Chains A and B, each alone.
Chain A
């Protein structure tokens, strides 16, 4: 995915900071990746290269670890993250159909982020609240009984936010233009 303006500097600074805080052993590779992801929201290719340099390990090893574990994401998270639970109970209650509904509405596949980085869509193995199946996690909120009919409602709330931020930005733009 294309890096945004100023993102490159942010990534370099973040990796430098995290590497400085940890002793540079292979045993710390996973915690380092976790910390970088916690700060940036994802693991850009650039960050993985720099971590490999810092630990004096082949970049392929770092990439291998990052793709082996489900927790790491190589795509930036959207402003709103939607995660659809596909645990046993949710799957049997039609979680996969809910996921498809989101894919259709966001026009991306699971694991992807919309080009404007407003939405990202993921599947999650089990959130652990099986009695509320099917479950969807929108940002940090857990939504129980999220059938396909609820998808439109959830999306509506997120879309409103998109329009509002769009408005604010343009207003701010106007203001700064006036100044």
Chain B
């Protein structure tokens, strides 16, 4: 596409950026408080913290601004805020509450004491306080697409532009669309939705298709339980994704695109909607973008909560108002996609890398990560690990580094047991697999998949059979019902697993389970069915003994499966003076025996674990027994 002559997109952009920088500089003259209000922050009470800041600042009559930003990434310490005061490095504070807010406003904003004793880290190098890069997590982390998350004001496009946002678009529009494609191909950017298909190749096939009408779709139907990377990027830095999509449209020659966002992410929808309006106002979207004859617009389509719609063909079907059932491929979407036209469908993160690659070049991108999987991987690190949160590490980092260094290990010296990677379609890897480097191919070999990036750490208190059952219950419920193997096979597998958690079955049961799993894997059309048995097959492979203990001894080694355990108060440890367990019981199952000690009425007990958690550590009298047999006692008087 050629320029319309007079206007030079680069020049036009530079004027817009100049304005944005002026705006940004005038804003930086006074102190600012950036409160992280992504969904996880909100859940931890970020809005209250924001109100507290505003009230305290007003009470002191200070001239400071309180701004909502997205996810800062350190979810374990929510609510979080960054205070940027001229003359000081910006400092990040965690675990905020009313008292701490009061103190920070009084000492730091009104006074000049940054209260470093409450700070987590500074955000710029300085002589006074360490930055995040100085901690183990910072050493391993390398933020590419998360660079601005939590630092920019998602509600103001100027905030993005002042940091060179949309400069990749201006650069691309000054040249030939072919150069965008060449750069993305040269960077070997692989799709971040999980399968790792090269994005450049996909775009090229779409371009080569002669049709005039083409579509771009961003897949933000992040349905994996325990994963929130796409949500965080969309909520915290929406323009990065929009810019990537516009660049893609320019490369393949599309005029219309859609963002397919899950209905469970109302905040992401809101932020993207605002971002779209602002991008249109500035001329980055709509007719003749930046004065050129390239036109492209974007719309939001809200998904309706079906996990299967993360599958490309199912997603397109659902956009066309049908049930979200996958189709057999070929024809691929790039040949025949939305409304039967060639369509490029990529994940949120894939698009987010594109502006960076165009700006800094393919060679820069390939410096990070491995030869086959360049770039970074974004994970939501959750489960039994100290530093839960959103992390971005170079491809090729090992799981051990990710869990022990970035995640700071397991809390309270707990024993690592397994890591579940890739969501319900992924697998559970044991200790022995921890040195596997994280990239598309190595994880596949180990039996797991990269998936979209959910990573759940499990310890000795997690039962692998129960975990496998949980994931299978999820995929079974989400199976669209098209293929017999997936529809009936997963149901039968679920029944077997449920039986095992009750101690039913024999050696043949496990054989059958494995066989069924392999059949479902081979006999299903789409990746939901093909990967659904993964959690079961990997746990059978790595944790066979645990399955055996359930069926042969009626024992759950992790003391989780409720049909195989009972709660018992050890009389020798119980203190007569303490009533904590009685109060903690939601079903009034705990009573005081005639001798003053406590005991549990097994008929009423729902095994909620409250009494065990409530029992003071100096007694630790509540224990779980598996198999569920009450010990014989000398004195068991009537209630």
Among B227, B304, B306, B454, find the residue whose CB has the most chain A CB atoms closer than 10 A.
Answer: B304
Question: Is A92 within 8 A of B304, CB to CB?
Answer: no
Given A88-B383, A127-B43: A97 in contact with B609 (beta carbons within 8 A): yes
Residues of A within 8 A of B263 (CB): 34, 71
Question: Is A130 within 8 A of B226, CB to CB?
Answer: yes
The residue in chain A whose Cβ has the minimal distance to the Cβ of B459 is: A92
Q: Tell whether B167 is near chain A: CB-to-CB under 8 Å.
A: no
Question: Is A92 within 8 A of B320, CB to CB?
Answer: no
Total contacts A-B at CB 8 Å: 148
B564 to chain A, nearest CB (A): 16
The residue in chain B whose Cβ has the minimal distance to the Cβ of A26 is: B321
Given A88-B470, A92-B462: A131 in contact with B306 (beta carbons within 8 A): no
Residues of B within 8 A of A86 (CB): 225
How far apart are the CA atoms of A29 and B321 in the complex, in Å?
5
Instruction: Identify A126's interface contact among B227, B389, B606, B609, CB under 8 A.
Output: B227
Q: Tell whether A64 is near chain B: CB-to-CB under 8 Å.
A: yes
User: Which residues of chain B (475-520) have a CB below 8 Å from chain A?
Assistant: 480
Residues of B within 8 A of A29 (CB): 321
Residues of A within 8 A of B587 (CB): 104
Residues of B within 8 A of A25 (CB): 321
User: Which residues of chain A (54-109) have a CB below 8 Å from chain B?
Assistant: 64-65, 68-72, 86-89, 91-92, 94, 97, 100-101, 104
Among B322, B462, B467, find the residue whose CB has the most chain A CB atoms closer than 10 A.
Answer: B322
How far apart are the CA atoms of A151 and B585 in the complex, in Å?
11
Question: Is A152 within 8 A of B586, CB to CB?
Answer: yes
Question: Is A125 within 8 A of B43, CB to CB?
Answer: no
Given A70-B306, A71-B304, A152-B586: A147 in contact with B610 (beta carbons within 8 A): yes
B150 to chain A, nearest CB (A): 15
Instruction: Identify A129's interface contact among B40, B462, B607, CB under 8 A.
Output: B40
Instruction: Identify B264's interface contact among A31, A68, A127, A148, CB under 8 A.
Output: A127
Given A128-B40, A132-B40: A88 in contact with B388 (beta carbons within 8 A): no
Q: Tell whether B295 is near chain A: CB-to-CB under 8 Å.
A: no
The residue in chain A whose Cβ has the minimal distance to the Cβ of B462 is: A92
Instruction: Identify B586's interface contact among A28, A101, A128, A133, CB under 8 A.
Output: A101
Q: Tell whether A12 is near chain B: CB-to-CB under 8 Å.
A: no
Residues of A within 8 A of B584 (CB): 149
User: Which residues of chain A (116-153) have a CB below 8 Å from chain B?
Assistant: 124-133, 135, 142-144, 147-149, 151-152
Residues of A within 8 A of B480 (CB): 68
Given A88-B470, A89-B382, A148-B586: A30 in contact with B227 (beta carbons within 8 A): no
Residues of A within 8 A of B303 (CB): 71
Instruction: Identify A151's interface contact among B231, B474, B586, CB under 8 A.
Output: B586
Q: Tell whether A163 is near chain B: CB-to-CB under 8 Å.
A: no
How far apart are the CA atoms of A127 and B231 in the complex, in Å?
10
Residues of A within 8 A of B380 (CB): 130
Q: Tell whether A160 is near chain B: CB-to-CB under 8 Å.
A: no
Residues of B within 8 A of A64 (CB): 323
User: Which residues of chain B (369-420) have a CB below 8 Å from chain A?
Assistant: 380, 382-383, 388-389, 420
How far apart are the CA atoms of A143 and B383 in the complex, in Å?
18
How far apart are the CA atoms of A101 and B39 in the complex, in Å?
25
Given A26-B321, A70-B306: A131 in contact with B265 (beta carbons within 8 A): no
Q: Tell whether B439 is near chain A: CB-to-CB under 8 Å.
A: no
How far apart are the CA atoms of A65 and B40 in the complex, in Å?
31
Interface flags for B302-324 (1: CB within 8 Å of A; 0: not) read 11111100000000001111111
Question: Is A72 within 8 A of B586, CB to CB?
Answer: no
Question: Is B470 within 8 A of A91, CB to CB?
Answer: yes
The residue in chain A whose Cβ has the minimal distance to the Cβ of B320 is: A27
User: Which residues of chain A (143-179) have a CB below 8 Å from chain B?
Assistant: 143-144, 147-149, 151-152
Instruction: Identify A68's interface contact among B324, B420, B471, CB under 8 A.
Output: B324
How far apart are the CA atoms of A25 and B263 in the complex, in Å?
21
Q: Tell whether B296 is near chain A: CB-to-CB under 8 Å.
A: no
Question: Is A94 within 8 A of B608, CB to CB?
Answer: yes
Q: Tell whether B228 is near chain A: CB-to-CB under 8 Å.
A: yes
How far apart are the CA atoms of A151 and B584 in the complex, in Å?
11
Provide a sorted-by-A list of 15 A–B residue pairs whose CB atoms are within 8 angstroms: A68-B306, A68-B480, A69-B306, A88-B470, A92-B458, A124-B264, A125-B264, A125-B307, A126-B225, A127-B43, A142-B39, A144-B43, A144-B44, A147-B613, A149-B584
Q: Which residues of B contact A (CB under 8 A)?
A: 39-40, 42-44, 75-76, 78, 223-228, 231, 263-265, 302-307, 318-324, 380, 382-383, 388-389, 420, 423, 454, 456, 458, 462, 467, 470-471, 474, 480, 584, 586-587, 606-610, 613-614
